[in-house]
Structure 1
Amino acid sequence: MRIGLLTEGGGPDASGETRPWRDRLVHGLPGHEFEVYTLERGPEDGVGRCSEGGVGRGPEDGVLDGVMDGVRGRARVARVAPLHGELPAALRWRPGGWHAGARGRRARRRFAECFGDLAAGFTAAEPPGGRALPPVPAADGAADREGQADRFAAGLYGLARLARDHGGLPELLRSEQAVRILESACRAPGALRAAHGARVGDLLAVTEELERALRPLSLDWYGTGRYDTDRYDTDRYGGSAGASGSDGGGLAAVDLCHATAGGSVALPGLLAKRFFGTPLLLTEYGARLREHYLARSGVGASAPVRALLGAFETALAAETYAEAALVTSGNARTRRWQEHCGADRERLRTVYPGMDATGFAAVPDTAADHSATLMWTGTVEPAKDLVSLLHAFAAVHRAEPAATLRIVGAPGPGPEDAAYLAQCRVLAAQLFPDEAADARSAGDNPVSFEEIGGPGLPRPQDAYAAGSVLVLSSVAEGFPRSLVEAMLSGRATVSTDTGAVCEVIGGTGLVVPPRNPRALADACLALLLDPGRRARLGAAARARALELFTVEQNIAAFRGIYLELMSRTPCRPAAGAGPGGDSEPRLFTRPAESHVPGRWAVAGGAAQAAPPTGLAPSWAAPDPGVPTAEPVVASAAGSVTEPAAEPAVAGAGAGADRQRGARP
C-alpha cells in the first residue's frame, strides 16, 4: 500500500514527539510504502536545513530520519514546502502567465467568486449564545450552518482548481481584490459582530495569514490524476474538467493520505480526497483548533483578526472532519474537542501515542523501604506550576525531614521560561534558608535543580530510578509523557487533574486538584509514609503503561486502521474509463489474496452463504470462466459466480456526493 504521509515541520505536536512517532510508524510498518510530504511552519528551523531533504527535493532523494538504512521500512521524501516567506516558483503548479489579457481577467473573476464563497462561509455570525463551537442546532439553524459549510467548501475547492489551472493564487490572496472581498463579507448582514469593526490593517493581516494557510492549494503535490468533475461546479467557476490520463505521481497516485495534524497540514489530503477519491486519515495528538485559540489569545492581534482567523480555522476543521474517513486522537480530551467541532462520533477513534518502553521497563522496582525522594521531570515553564510544588514540598519536609525533592529539567524555549526557572530557584532558597546556607559546605539542600545528562543522570530512566514518587504539578497539560515514563519505570505518581492525566493514570496513582499545595502535600506524604502502597501502585502503573502506551500498541492500531480503510475503499477505475459498466469502482476488485500461490480458493466443503466482505471462502471452487485474479463467491445454490459490484462507500469513491449531517 502506498501511503502519503502529510506532516508538519518546525515544532513538535502536543505529544512532544512528532518526528519520533512518525519515524517509528514508518519503521514498524515495512510492508507499506510511505511518501512524506512536509510543510515547514516557521523560519526558525531554516528551509535549507530541513532534515527531510530541503525545499523542492524530488521523491528520489532522502530517507526519513530514524529509519536506519531501510532495514525494516523505508520512506521517500516526496516534497517539502514552506508555510512562511515567498513560495518558490518551482513548487507551484503554473507560475505566472495569466496576469494580462483575457486569461487574466477570467482568472480574477473566478477568484472573486471562489474567494467570496470562502469568506462568506467563515464570516457568518456565530449562533445564539455566543459560543464559537456549539453543537449543531435543529431545524432552520442546522440548515443555515450546513449552507455556510457548503459555501465554504465550494470556495475552498474552487480556489484549488484555480491554482491548478492558472497558478498565481498566493499573489491573488494578497491582492487588493482579496482585501475588498473580505471587507464586503465582514460588512454583510449576519456577519460576525467582531468582524464589523475590522480596519484596513486588520484585513491585511487576515489575508496574509489566509495566504499562508491556503498555500497547500498552490503546491505541485497532486500529480496529473483525474479530477472528479461530478463534485465540482464547472459551470459556475469555469475551467476544464481536469487533467486526463493515468496518475502521474504525487498524491494522485497514493492509496491513502495520512495527515498527522489538522489545519493546513490536512489540506493536501482534502484535495486528494475531493478530486481523486483517495481516503483521508487524520491523526491529531493535540486539538489544533484549541492550540490556535490559545496562540491567538495573547496580545499582538486585534479582536477582529482573532475572530476572523478563528472562524476560518473552525470552518477548515469542520470540513476536514466531514471529509476524513477516520479521525484518530491521542486522548479523550482531544476527542471531545473533535466532537465539539462537528466530527462524527462513529468516525472517531482513540490511539494513544506510542513510547519506547525498552529503557524504562528495565528500571528496577522501587525499594520497599522508607526512602523519601520526590521526583519532578519535564520542561520548566509557568504552566508546570513549580511554585505550588515548592510550597507543597515545604509542608512535606516539615512532616518528614528526610524527604528530598529533585527537579530535573531544562527551561523551555520561551523567553519567560528561563526567568521562571530563576524565580523557582530563589523561592527554594527562601523556603529552606538554613538548608541553603548549609548546602554551601555540606551539599544537603533538600531541593535540587538538575538536568538530564548531568552528574548522576546521564539518561531519562536514571531520573526515575533515583526517585520514589513522581510528582506532576501542572495547571495545563496535554498528553503527560513524563507520567507515562514514570509508569513504565514502575513508580507511583501524584498528579494534578489536568489534561489527559486521569485517562492515563486510571486507578494507578493519586490525583489532586491543580493549584492546591495542601492537597498535593497530603498525597505525597501518603505515599512516602506507606512503602507497601507505593510499591503496589507502581506495579499496577507499569502493567497499565505496558498494555496501552507502547510503540507496539500504537503501530498495531495503525496497521489495523490502514487495512480497515482500504477494505472500505473502492478501487478507482482505469484512466479514461467512462461511467457505467465494468468501469465503476468496486470493492475488492483485486484483493491481495488473489496473488498468493496455493489452493486458497479450492473447494473443500458444502456450499455456504457468502461472507459479507465478498472475499472467496476457502471452500469455494473457482469457476473456469472467472479469471483467477478475481475473487469468487458461492451462490446459495452452490454454484460459483462472479461477485456483484459493490456500491461505493459514501464519500470514499470518485463521484460520490457527500451528504452532510448523515452518518457514514
Structure 2
Amino acid sequence: MRIALLAEGGYPFAAGDGRVWCDRLIRGLADHEFEVYGLSTGPELDAAGLVELPPQVRKVRRARLWAEPEDTFSFGRRARERFTAAFTELAAAICADGPAEDRFSAGLYGLAELAFDQGPGLLPALRSEVPLRILEGACRAPGSARLVQGARAVDLLAVTEHLAQALRPLSLPWYGPEELAGADLCHALSGGTAALPGLLARHIHGTPLLVTEYGVRLRRHYLAAGPGPDVPARALTAGFERRLAAQVCAGADLLTPGNTHARRWQERLGAARERQRTVYPGMEAERFAEAGEAGLPGDEGAGPEGQTLVWVGRIEPAKDLIGLLHAFAEVRRAEPETRLLLVSQGGSAEYETHCRALAAQLFPDEAAGAHEVGDNPVSFEEIGGPELPDLAAAYASGEVLVLSSVVEGFPAGLVEGMFCGRASVSTDVGAVREVIGGTGLVVPPRNPRALADACLALLRDPARRSRLGAAARARALELFTVEQNVSAFRGIYFELISHRRGRRRGTAPRPFDHPAEAALPGRWAGGRLARRGGSPRPSTPRWSRPAQEPRDRTPALTRAAAGDPR
C-alpha cells in the first residue's frame, strides 16, 4: 500500500513538530510504502535539514510556503476572469458574518481548477493588485463582519500574503500519476494547509483522505495571533483559517483527533461524529520502565519530610510557573522540608529569568542552622547533567508530579510521568482530565491555593500516592504506547482503502480499486465514508467528474415501437 503523508512545518524536517511520532508510525508499518510531502513554513526548517528517513520512505517532496514565486507567468483574459470570479467567492466567504461554506467551497475549488488547467500563475495572481481590490470590496459589502469593515491597505496586504502562502499547495505539481494520483491513501498530519493536497487528490482521483490532529491547528492560530492593533487583519486571517478548517472537516473521509479536546473542536467545525475516531498519540514506554517499576511498591515513611514536587516541561508563560511558585510557597509554609524541582526542556529565557527572580524573592536564603546559606528549596535543572541524565531520572527524583498549565493540548509530560508510576496534581486544561482518567488530582487553573492543597494531600498520604501512581502507570501502558497507536492506524488504513471509490478512466488498475463490497446493495455500493455522515459536500469541479456516456434522448414509446427492450 502506498501512503502519502502530508505535513506542514513538521516531518520530514529535523526541526519540525511531530517528527518523532511520525517516524515511529512509519517504522511500525514496515509492510507499507510511504511518500512524504512536506510544506516548509520558514527558512529555519530548510536550514536544519531532514531527519534520518526510514527505508519505507520511497520519496520525499518539499515545497516552501514562504518563498517568492519562481516564475512571473500571467493569466490570459479568460483565466483572469475565472480567477476574479473564484477569488470573489472566497473573499465573500472570509468576510461574511454568517454561514458561507458553499461560497468558500466554490472559491477554493474554483482556484484549484484554474491552477490545474493553467499550470503556473496562481501564486503571482494572488500577489497582484486584483485580490486587494476584491478583498477591499468584500470588507465593505453588506453582510460583512463588523471587525473587517475598517480594513486598511496595510491589513489587506498582510491578508493577501497570508492567503498566497496558505493556498500555494493548489498550484504545486503534486497531482500527477507518479505523485498523489498513484497513492492509495493520503494521510494529512494536521488540518488546514497540510490537508489541501489531500482534498484535491480526493476530488481529482478519489483518493481517501485521513486527517490526524494531535494539536488543533486552528486553536494554535488563535493563540499565536494574540492582541494587537491590526484587528481587521487578524479577523480576516482567522476567518480564512476557520473556513478552511471546516472544509477539511467536511471533506475528509475520516478524522482521527488525538483526544476529546481536539474532537470537540472538530465537531464545532462541522465534523460528523461517525467520521471521527479518537486515536491517542503513541509514546515510547520502554525508557521509563525502570523508573516505573521502582516506583510501584510505594514510598517509605508516613510524612512529607524531605519529599520533592517535580515539574517537567518548557518554561513559558502558558505553563504558569508563577502560579506554581506561589502555590509552593503555601506548601512550604505547611511542610517546611518539601522541595520543588523545575526541569527545563527549553522555552523562553526571559520568562525563566522572571521565575528565578520570583523564587529568590519568595524563598530568601535561610539562616544557618536550619539550612546552609544559599540553599533555596526551588531548583532549576536541565536534562543531561550528572544528577538528571535523562527524563526518567527527572521523574524519578520526586514523589509527586505537578502540571500547572493554563493552556495545554495533549500533556505528553504528564503521560511520561504516568509511565514512571508517579501520582500527579494537574490543572484542568486541554486533554488533562481525559489523560488522567481518575489516576491523579485535578484542580482549576490559575488557583494556587487549590494547587497547594492538592499537593499537600498527596505528600501527606504515601499509601494513596502509591495507589494512584500504580493506576496511572497501568492506564498509560494500556492507552498511550507506540504499539496501540500503530495498531490503530494499521486498521484504519485498510478500512479506508476497502471503501475507496473507483478509479478514474485511463488510470492503471491498483489493488483495492474494486473491493468486493462494491457489489453488495446498500451503503457499501456508494463506497464513501463521507456519505454516511450526511454532511454537505462541496461542489465538485468539472475536472473531478468522471466521463459519462451520452444519454439516449429517444422517446421511450419510439424505442418500444422499434422493439428496443429499454
Q: CA-to-partner distance for each residue in 1:567-601, whole Å, 9 max, x for gaps?
A: 11134155179xxxxx9x9977367xxxxxxxxxx
CA distance in 2, matches of 1:373, 1:490: 15
Q: CA deviation at 1:555?
A: 0.7
Q: CA deviation at 1:88?
A: 3.7
Are 2:91 and 1:160 equivalent residues in the alignment? no
Query: Aligned letter for 1:161?
Result: E
Q: Are the counterparts in 1 of residues 89 and 107 from structure 2 also a CA contact under 8 Å?
A: yes
Are 2:236 and 1:308 equivalent residues in the alignment? yes
Query: Aligned letter for 1:403?
Result: T
Q: CA deviation at 1:19?
A: 0.2
Q: Which moved more, 1:249-258 or 1:516-525?
A: 516-525
Q: CA-to-partner distance for each residue in 1:262-281, whole Å, 9 max, x for gaps?
A: 11111101110111111110
Pick from 308, 317, 336: which aligns with 1:382? 317
Alignment of 1:557-596 (within 5 A): 557-575=488-506, 589=514
Q: CA-to-partner distance for each residue in 1:593-652, whole Å, 9 max, x for gaps?
A: xxxxxxxxxxxxxxxxxxxx479xxxxxxxxxxxxxxxxx9xxxxxxxxx9996233477
2:256 maps to 328
Gap change, CA 1:375 and 1:652, over 3 Å in 2: closer
Q: CA deviation at 1:528?
A: 1.1
Gap change, CA 1:448 and 1:279, over 3 Å in 2: same
Gap change, CA 1:4 and 1:586, over 3 Å in 2: closer
Q: CA deviation at 1:388?
A: 1.8
SS of residue matched to 1:203: helix
Q: CA deviation at 1:435?
A: 3.3
Q: Are the counterparts in 2 of residues 438 and 445 from structure 1 also a CA contact under 8 Å?
A: no
CA distance in 1, matches of 2:111, 2:399: 58
TM-score (norm 2): 0.87
CA distance in 1, matches of 2:366, 2:409: 35
Query: Aligned letter for 1:204?
Result: L
Unpaired segments of 5 or more residues in structure 1?
53-62, 90-94, 127-144, 224-247, 578-582, 592-612, 616-632, 634-642
Query: Aligned letter for 2:83?
Result: F
Q: CA deviation at 1:150?
A: 2.0
2:342 maps to 407
CA distance in 1, matches of 2:277, 2:180: 25
CA distance in 2, matches of 1:321, 1:645: 21
Are 2:473 and 1:546 equivalent residues in the alignment? no
Are 2:190 and 1:208 equivalent residues in the alignment? no
Q: CA deviation at 1:203?
A: 1.3
Gap change, CA 1:10 and 1:566, over 3 Å in 2: closer
Gap change, CA 1:507 and 1:590, over 3 Å in 2: closer
Q: How many residues align?
A: 528
2:550 maps to none
Query: Aligned letter for 1:206?
Result: V
Q: CA deviation at 1:440?
A: 10
Gap change, CA 1:458 and 1:10, over 3 Å in 2: same
1:517 maps to 448
Q: CA-to-partner distance for each residue in 1:354-383, whole Å, 9 max, x for gaps?
A: 100011122111642135111111111111
2:525 maps to 647
1:435 maps to 366
CA distance in 1, matches of 2:466, 2:325: 25
Are 2:16 and 1:85 equivalent residues in the alignment? no
CA distance in 1, matches of 2:523, 2:430: 47
CA distance in 1, matches of 2:48, 2:86: 36
SS of residue matched to 1:379: strand
Q: CA-to-partner distance for each residue in 1:305-364, whole Å, 9 max, x for gaps?
A: 111111111111111111100011111111111111111111111111110001112211
1:122 maps to 94
Which structure is richer in relative contact order (CA contacts within 8 A, separation 6 or more)? 2
Q: Are the counterparts in 2 of residues 571 and 587 from structure 1 also a CA contact under 8 Å?
A: no
Q: CA deviation at 1:391?
A: 1.8
Q: CA deviation at 1:398?
A: 2.4
CA distance in 1, matches of 2:369, 2:359: 14
SS of residue matched to 1:355: coil
Q: CA deviation at 1:108?
A: 1.0
1:108 maps to 80
1:365 maps to 295
Q: CA-to-partner distance for each residue in 1:72-126, whole Å, 9 max, x for gaps?
A: xx1134310011121445xxxxx72x55xxxx11221111111112112222223
SS of residue matched to 1:282: strand
Q: CA deviation at 1:255?
A: 0.8
Q: Are the counterparts in 1 of residues 366 and 372 from structure 2 also a CA contact under 8 Å?
A: no
CA distance in 2, matches of 1:650, 1:552: 28
Q: CA deviation at 1:402?
A: 2.2
SS of residue matched to 1:369: coil
Alignment of 1:596-611 (within 5 A): none
Query: Aligned letter for 1:496?
Result: T
Gap change, CA 1:475 and 1:193, over 3 Å in 2: same
Alignment of 1:621-636 (within 5 A): none
CA distance in 2, matches of 1:28, 1:192: 47
Q: CA deviation at 1:296?
A: 1.7
CA distance in 1, matches of 2:230, 2:452: 42
Q: CA-to-partner distance for each residue in 1:111-155, whole Å, 9 max, x for gaps?
A: 1111112112222223xxxxxxxxxxxxxxxxxx3xx32222122
Q: CA deviation at 1:395?
A: 2.0
Gap change, CA 1:645 and 1:434, over 3 Å in 2: closer
Alignment of 1:148-547 (within 5 A): 148-166=100-118, 167-223=120-176, 248-299=177-228, 302-363=230-291, 364-365=294-295, 367-370=298-301, 372-412=307-347, 417-435=348-366, 444-547=375-478
Q: CA deviation at 1:12?
A: 11
Q: Are the counterparts in 2 of residues 570 and 587 from structure 1 also a CA contact under 8 Å?
A: no
1:232 maps to none
Gap change, CA 1:87 and 1:369, over 3 Å in 2: farther
Percent identity between matched residues is 59
CA distance in 2, matches of 1:659, 1:549: 31
CA distance in 2, matches of 1:221, 1:266: 13
CA distance in 1, matches of 2:316, 2:148: 34
Gap change, CA 1:460 and 1:586, over 3 Å in 2: closer
Q: CA deviation at 1:17?
A: 5.2
Query: Aligned letter for 1:250?
Result: E
Q: CA deviation at 1:410?
A: 4.2
Gap change, CA 1:122 and 1:401, over 3 Å in 2: same
Q: Which moved more, 1:197-206 or 1:315-324?
A: 197-206
CA distance in 1, matches of 2:474, 2:522: 48
1:621 maps to none
SS of residue matched to 2:30: coil
Q: CA deviation at 1:33?
A: 0.8
TM-score (norm 1): 0.75
2:563 maps to none
CA distance in 2, matches of 1:374, 1:172: 57
Q: Are the counterparts in 2 of residues 570 and 586 from structure 1 also a CA contact under 8 Å?
A: no
Pick from 536, 547, 552: which aligns with 1:660? 536
1:51 maps to 50
Q: Are the counterparts in 1 of residues 282 and 480 from structure 2 also a CA contact under 8 Å?
A: yes
CA distance in 2, matches of 1:368, 1:458: 23
Q: CA RMSD in A?
A: 3.0
Gap change, CA 1:575 and 1:307, over 3 Å in 2: same
Q: Are the counterparts in 1 of residues 309 and 401 from structure 2 also a CA contact under 8 Å?
A: yes
CA distance in 2, matches of 1:110, 1:492: 61
CA distance in 2, matches of 1:528, 1:659: 51
Query: Aligned letter for 2:466?
Result: A
Q: Are the counterparts in 2 of residues 586 and 646 from structure 1 also a CA contact under 8 Å?
A: no
1:234 maps to none
Query: Aligned letter for 2:27?
Result: H
Alignment of 1:18-29 (within 5 A): 18-29=18-29
